[in-house]
Amino acid sequence: MSVAAHLPRPARGLGRGFLVALALGYLALFLLLPFGVVFAQALSRGLATYLHALTEPMARSAISLTLTVAAIAVPLNLVFGVVAAWTVTKYDFRGKSALITLIDLPFAVSPVISGLIYVLLFGAHGWFGEWLAAHDVKVIFAVPGIVLATVFVTFPFVARELIPVMQAQGRDEEETALSLGATGWQTFRRVTLPNIRWGLLYGVLLCNARAMGEFGAVSVVSGHIRGLTNTMPLHVEILYNEYNATAAFAVASLLAMLAIVTLAARAALEARAPELKRTGRTTGGHE
Amino acid sequence: MSIAVHSINKRFGEFVALRDVSLEVPTGQLVAILGPSGCGKTTLLRIIAGLDSPDTGRVFLQGREATELPVQQRRVGFVFQHYALFRHMTVFDNVAFGLCVRPRRERPSAAAIRAKVEELLALVQLESAATRHPMHLSGGQRQRVALARALAVEPQLLLLDEPFGALDTQVRQELRRWLRRLHDALHFTSLFVTHDQNEALEVADAVIVMNGGRIEQRGAPEEVYDAPASGFVHRFVGSSQDLPARRTAGLLYVGPMAPVPSAGTDGEVSVVVRPQDVQVNRAGEGWPGVVGAVRVVGPLVHMEIALEGHNGDPLVAEFERERYRADPFLTGQTVCVTLRRYRTYPTDPVG
């Protein structure tokens, strides 16, 4: 008798229909419904109010700060991620497993703690607080603090995405390139980079989504100064606390659209590069 | 390009990969490094290529010290076991890679690169595959692309790591003969690593047998086969089997066989004998035994004999099939075994 005969058959009829309905219903209730509410609320007072909420000066300032922070944090973590993944997969050295574990630290720590770390280091009563004050450098309650907190929270994304891809590919192609006379940079650009490009793009996408959406860590270091240190997620919260729900949802709808774009790009990437599905999948942090 | 390696040691953590390895390969030879997996042969090859560096010891290429020379400057072609073709490039771009990455001053013109690549693809009989990607090629074709790519930079020395290890027997035999012809035609020095004794014996000018990070023997293929320097070499190169024996006062006692004079220290020794050197008689002198399984292996016949009072595996005797057919033995028949040729080694050798 074959083993297959002992396996339960796929549920049919009533049972199968019930399970599918349950899964879809759950998804609708907890994901799609809130998503729809965001857009419904945002547009509840008409398109003009919606557009005004997005173009008034405080909103514009929040949007531009979020874009600025992402424009600094994402390239930094792109470089760091590639270097870390390269180091971990192409070299053997002491402390390698410790490095791999440390890369995951921001995923393991609550974002609030991530923010507090920087307050403790650079705040008025922090370790470097006096020195910074004496040299008139503002980190906490200023843009540098927001950038630092965002960089910290988002640094695992690119590295996490690349390490499994690069591990699977091994070192042979790079070593061949070197033996054929290529320099280290030529080897990276002509051999490594083309092999990891889809994974890299995907990591950058996730990193960007998180950089723009980060709330907890940024909230601790920002000080919520309107027009100066408010990012989009913080701006949404302030508006909401002021009972300005329409404006809050209008700004939130931008973040929701970012999520949709990220998911669509991800689907497109996975269709393009099936190896992304096979290798280890990154899980997000808190929020 | 000649190779000389002096007293190389290499460890990976606790694992000792190479112990005091020295060797020389004169220009123009095709040399095989033969050994079981984990014997250090690939590490040795990588150190000669410059992909790994030795803990101690020195490497000389063409008489010049190259121990610290980066891999890019050694002018060696290295072919990996799994070919390591650049998967995102066409066959053409793979072969052209070594020429395209040269500094602008030394780089040939685009037309010259094209001509060179086409010449190499013709040499490996892959002209029609130029625009294909590696994933659409067979194993043998990939191997030939890897060779063409290594040859494009005109290396003085070709290093091949298990070059035919991942191929079907048939393709493998074809390719190794082809490699031998290529080597003779292009006059470079080649060193290849293999665990396949047939490959080493058939293709190479000289064979280096390694075990446990050491070189056990270096010699011409017949020399390694006919006069193994150690029990390990005897057992690893060609098939062989062990019989327990004892040497007392210059006489060797193998089971109940008549003692024969034998030089060496007294005590337990291993007698190593190849199947074709086992003489099977229907009666008379020798070690009595009972015929067991008989198998026809192509042109040969392998016959197992359970020796009386011997607890180990049955002894295998090899016959030519035609000769065996003319005068076969029956399973269960009692026979007497003598040894036409054998060698003795100290029991329980290192490794």
Structure confidence by residue, pLDDT tens digits, A254-263: 998 988 888 8
- β-strand partners of B339: B278
pLDDT band at A279 (very low <50, low <70, confident <90, very high): very low
First-residue to last-residue Cα distance in chain A: 51
* Separation CA A246–CA A51 (nearest Å): 11
- Collapse the DSSP code of B30 into the 3-class scheme (helix H, G, I; strand E, B; otherwise coil) and give the result: strand
CB within 8 Å: B72 and A182: yes
Residues of B within 8 A of A182 (CB-CB) are: 72, 97-98, 101
Give tens-digit pLDDT for A129-139: 888 888 888 88
Q: Determine the number of helices (DSSP H) and then strands (DSSP E) in chain A.
A: 17, 0
Give residue A6's pLDDT: 59
Within 8 A of A180 by CB-CB distance, chain B residues are 97-98, 101, 149-150, 152-153
Chain A residues inside the 8 Å CB shell of B82: 172
Q: What residues 22-61 of chain B have any CB closer than 8 A to a CB of chain A?
A: 49-51
For chains A and B, what is the number of CB pairs under 8 angstroms? 60
* Chain-chain contact of B101 with A190 (C-beta, under 8 angstroms): yes
In chain B, whose CA is at the least distance from the CA of A175?
B51
User: Taking chain B (351 residues) in consecutive chunks of 10 residues, what is each chunk's mean pLDDT?
Assistant: 93 92 94 93 94 94 92 91 92 95 92 95 91 92 93 92 85 88 88 91 94 94 93 91 90 89 87 94 90 93 92 91 90 92 78 38
Chain A partners of B49 at a C-beta cutoff of 8 Å?
179
Q: Do B72 and A173 touch (CB under 8 A)?
A: no
For residue B51, the chain A residue with the least C-alpha distance is: A175
Instruction: Pick the residue from chain B with its C-alpha nearest to A178.
Output: B72
Backbone angles phi, psi at B242, to 5 degrees: -105, 140
Average confidence (pLDDT) over A111-133? 85
Which residue of A lies nearest to B95 if distances are taken between CA atoms? Answer: A180
Mutate to test the interface with B, among A173, A176, A196 (most CBs of B within 10 A): A176
Confidence of residue A32 (pLDDT cuts 50, 70, 90): confident
Q: pLDDT at position A227, please?
A: 81
For chain B, what is the total number of helices (H) and then of strands (E)?
9, 20
Interface list for chain A against chain B, based on CB atoms closer than 8 Å: 172-173, 175-183, 186, 190-191, 194-195
Please tell me the distance in Å from B171's CA to the nearest CA on chain A.
23
Give chain A positions within 8 Å (CB) of B98.
180-182
Give the pTM: 0.79
Tokens 């060496």 label which residue?
B264
B147 contacts in chain A (CB < 8 Å): none
Q: Residue A275: pLDDT band by 50, 70, 90 thresholds?
A: low
Instruction: Tell me what pLDDT residue A274 has.
Output: 57
Helix residue ranges, H only, A140-244: 143-154, 156-169, 172-179, 184-187, 193-213, 216-222, 232-241
> Considering only alpha carbons, which residue of chain A is nearest residue B158?
A179
Q: How many CB atoms lie within 10 A of CB B324?
A: 19
Contact B78 A190 (CB under 8 A): no
Strand ordering across the sheet containing B315-320: B278-281, B334-339, B287-297, B300-307, B315-320
Residues of A in contact with B70 (CB under 8 A): 178
Q: Which 86-105 residues of chain B touch chain A by CB within 8 A?
A: 86-88, 97-98, 101-102
Determine contact, residues B291/B333, Cβ cutoff 8 Å: yes
List CB contacts (< 8 A) between A177 and chain B.
Answer: 86, 97, 101
- Whether residue B166 lies within 8 A of chain A, CB to CB, comes out as no
What pLDDT shows up at residue A281? 40
Reference B113, options B173, B160, B153, B85; nearest CA is B153
Beta-carbon contacts of residue A88 (< 8 Å; ≥ 6 apart): A96, A99, A100, A159, A163
Give the span between the Cα atoms of A255 and A273, in whole angstroms. 26
Cross-chain residue pair A179–B84, CB shorter than 8 Å: no
The minimum CA-CA distance between B134 and chain A, rounded to whole Å, is: 13
Chain A residues near residue B150 by CB distance under 8 angstroms: 179-180
Distance between first and last Cα of chain B: 33
CB contact under 8 Å between A180 and B88, yes or no, is no
Element (H, E) at B231: helix B231-236
pLDDT of residue A12: 62
Query: Residue A277 pLDDT more than 60?
Result: no
Strands B315-320 and B300-307: antiparallel
Percent of chain A with pLDDT over 70: 90
Find, among B112, B177, B109, B113, the residue nearest to B140 by Cα.
B177
Strand locations in B249-351, DSSP E? 251-253, 260-261, 267-273, 278-281, 287-297, 300-307, 315-320, 334-339, 343-346
Instruction: Tell which residue, B48, B60, B28, has the closest CA to residue B205.
Output: B28
| Cβ partners under 8 Å of residue B258, min gap 6 | B285
If one compares A150 and A93, the residue with the highest pLDDT of the two is A150
The predicted-structure confidence for A138-191, as pLDDT tens digits, reads as follows 888 888 899 999 999 999 999 999 999 999 888 899 999 999 999 999 999 999
Give the span between the Cα atoms of B327 and B292, in whole angstroms.
16
Cβ contact B88–A172 (<8 Å): no
Residues of chain B contacting A191 with CB distance shorter than 8 Å: 86
Residue A225 has pLDDT above 90, yes or no: no
Checking A239-244 for CB contacts under 8 A at 24+ apart, the result is none
pLDDT number for residue A10:
58
For residue B80, give the nearest of A176, A191, A194 by CB distance.
Answer: A176
